[in-house]
A and B are shown apart, each in its own frame.
Chain A
């Protein structure tokens, strides 16, 4: 934005910059104080960082759904958190059945793969239904209209699940999978006074693998290129013979599949499933997408991991109550919106767009 010379604008800018400086000084001060104080050892930060990477991977996977859809339709699909919830919820019934039948214990790998596949499928079905019924008819409406519809759809899905399955908390069963003597799903190990849960590594690696797969799809395949073509110019894409509606459907499906997979991964360590479980992760992932620069695929990945790490380590690093992690997450969102509205990678995006 160009600086204007009129008085009031300059004062606003000054105040904003001043606030930014104060926040920065506060952060640095608390950081130094905490680190100098030496209250926490390396193991504390390490275990927080490991958790942050897993949680960040979940955020990143959900954030990709926001960013993919935004990239194509310039619309924030606020019901995306409920797509995540829906897949996780439906998959719960599958994994619970596996648990009762003993299949989860006898063949955990296959059981979990089937659970993830169920969640992905359920999320995709929900997302495609939403796209077809709620969003497609509004494709040419002013931007605010689909946004309001999305909020409505989000509430609809929450209450539909509440109506169908009740308000009670469903709990994902404990799972164990031994690889080289280590229980990579349910184990907790004490390593030099630090509690390590291998599940976090597993979640992180799965998230990275899925992101890599998405990246290859978007960058290298003909369909991925068609997606990027549609994102840039729908009419011209249609002149190439690309069926724009099909690409939009594919985009929703991809985002939903990632969200469904993320849901089961999340539930493997977080356990609890309710009809409202999509709300906070949904908003956090949206924050991550904005942090990275909405519409930007690597940005969503980066933003997700950044947010996950920030949430898990900042409270301790800044000597704050860990209850304040949500404040930190949304505080970051506000700060980014004030100081860098285009997000971390936003600049790259706008330069390429020009």
Chain B
């Protein structure tokens, strides 16, 4: 059974159909990437999984249990957390408080404390700035905080929306290597990226989204080898 199973979801903004029957699955322990151009519906897919957008049709299930239709704050409780596009950290809360919010539903004080230490190990720069308000962090640090905050929920599956956005190449490298560490430690990951090159190098499988529909899926190697993908997303041939 897949960890996350999305079956034929249709999502709308008013009358605009942003997702036209998207299906995808992520198996336990995988990194799966979802790539596509601007406006393809990648963020909408993640937000539909998280319950911020209600699908008009289709179902989403986590470990076989249907989660579509649940409000966003209950989806987190089931084990899905997201580091959203543009980081969306709480700029007026301290780093520490942002992480505490990530663990909002958890009651295990000791577990929360040790997970926070783990986040500070993964991202030492956050540890140094734990009492600084989020708004004063650099873009890279904010991305680290967004990922750390999502990890604080101890998710079954972590959704990452364009973690490389607006970051210098070296920092992108760093973030991606940490994403791989997180995955190796047992967190399943669905990664949305515009940086197809990077995404395909860390993911085992990939989906290509175009105008609200999945137009291609396969292993990363297969997708990377597709001439159309090479031309449109990898800037080759």
Mark each residue of chain A from 288 to 317: 1 if its CB lies under 8 Å from any CB of chain B, else 0: 000000000000000000000000000000
- Chain B residues lying within 8 Å of A3, measured Cβ to Cβ, are none
Q: Are A239 and B92 in contact (CB under 8 A)?
A: no
8 Å CB contact of B92 from A222, A228, A243: A228
A235 within 8 A of B: yes
Chain A interface bracket (under 10, 10 to 19, 20 to 34, 35 or more): 20 to 34
B104 contacts which chain A residues (CB < 8 A)? 222, 226, 240-242
Number of B residues near A (Cβ < 8 Å) is 27
Q: Are B84 and A239 in contact (CB under 8 A)?
A: yes
Q: Is B194 an interface residue (CB 8 A)?
A: no
Which of the 9-residue segments B69-77, B169-177, B214-222 touches chain A? B69-77
What is the CA–CA distance of A229 and B76 in the complex, to the nearest angstrom?
A: 16
Cβ of B115 under 8 Å from chain A = no
Chain A residue with the shortest CB-CB distance to B159:
A239
- Complex formed: what's the CA distance from A222 to B82 in Å? 20
Does chain B have a CB within 8 A of A2? Answer: no
Counting CB contacts under 8 A, is B81 at the interface? yes
Chain B, residues 86-110, CB within 8 Å of chain A (1/0): the string is 0010111100010011101100000
Q: Smallest distance from the beta carbon of B158 to chain A beta carbons, Å?
A: 12
B64 part of interface (Cβ distance < 8 Å): no
Do B73 and A232 touch across chains, with their CB atoms under 8 A apart?
Answer: no
Nearest CB of A to B97, in Å: 5
- When distances are taken between beta carbons in the complex, the residues of chain B under 8 Å from A236 are 84, 88, 90
* Structural contact, B133 and A239, CB atoms closer than 8 A: no
Whether the pair A228, B72 counts as a contact (CB closer than 8 A) is no
User: Do A241 and B100 contact each other (CB < 8 Å), given the known contacts A233-B88, A352-B92?
Assistant: no
Residue A139 at the chain B interface, CB threshold 8 Å: no
The distance from the CB of A156 to the nearest CB of chain B, in whole angstroms, is 30
CA distance A352 to B94 in the complex (A): 12
* B residues near A337, Cβ cutoff 8 Å: none
A244 at the interface (CB under 8 A from B): yes
Instruction: State in angstroms the CA–CA spacing of A226 and B105 once bound together.
Output: 11
Majority DSSP secondary structure for residues of B touching A:
mixed
CA gap between A242 and B102 in the complex, in Å = 9
At the interface, is chain A mostly helix, strand, loop or mixed?
Answer: helix
Nearest A residue to B105, CB-CB: A241
In the complex, whether A4 has a CB less than 8 A from a CB of chain B is no
CA distance A240 to B101 in the complex (A): 6
A228 & B93 in contact (Cβ 8 Å cutoff): yes
The answer to whether A238 and B153 touch across the interface, beta carbons within 8 angstroms, is no
The closest CB in chain A to the CB of B101 belongs to A240
Please name all residues of chain A whose beta carbon is closer than 8 Å to the beta carbon of B102 when the two chains form the complex.
240
Question: Is B135 among interface residues, defined by CB-CB distance under 8 A?
Answer: yes
Give Cα A353–Cα B73 distance, bound, in whole angstroms: 24
For residue B50, which residues in chain A have a CB less than 8 angstroms away from its CB?
A: 239
- Residues of A224-269 at the interface with B, using a CB-CB cut-off of 8 Å, are 225-226, 228-229, 232-233, 235-244
CB neighbors of A among B96-142 (8 A):
97, 100-102, 104-105, 133, 135
The proximity string for A residues 203-218 relative to B, scoring 1 for CB distances below 8 Å and 0 otherwise, is 0000000000000000
Q: Which of A27-54 contact B (CB under 8 A)?
A: none
Please give, as numbers and ranges, the residues of chain A lying within 8 Å of B234 by CB-CB distance: none
The answer to whether A225 and B92 have CB atoms under 8 Å apart is no
Q: When chains A and B are docked, how far (Å) is the Cα of A219 from the Cα of B105?
A: 19
Give every chain B residue within 8 A of A237 (Cβ-Cβ). Answer: 101
Assess the B100–A222 pair: CB atoms within 8 A: yes
List B residues at the A interface (Cβ < 8 Å).
50-52, 71-74, 76-77, 81-82, 84, 88, 90-93, 97, 100-102, 104-105, 133, 135, 149, 153
Question: Please, could you name 15 A-B residue pairs with CB atoms under 8 Å apart, sorted by A?
Answer: A225-B93, A225-B101, A228-B92, A232-B90, A232-B93, A235-B84, A235-B88, A236-B88, A239-B82, A239-B84, A240-B104, A240-B153, A241-B77, A243-B71, A244-B73
Besides A229-B101, A240-B101, A240-B104, 18 new A-B residue pairs in contact (Cβ under 8 A), listed by A number: A226-B101, A226-B104, A228-B92, A232-B93, A233-B90, A236-B84, A236-B90, A239-B50, A239-B72, A239-B84, A240-B76, A240-B153, A241-B74, A241-B77, A241-B104, A242-B101, A243-B73, A354-B135
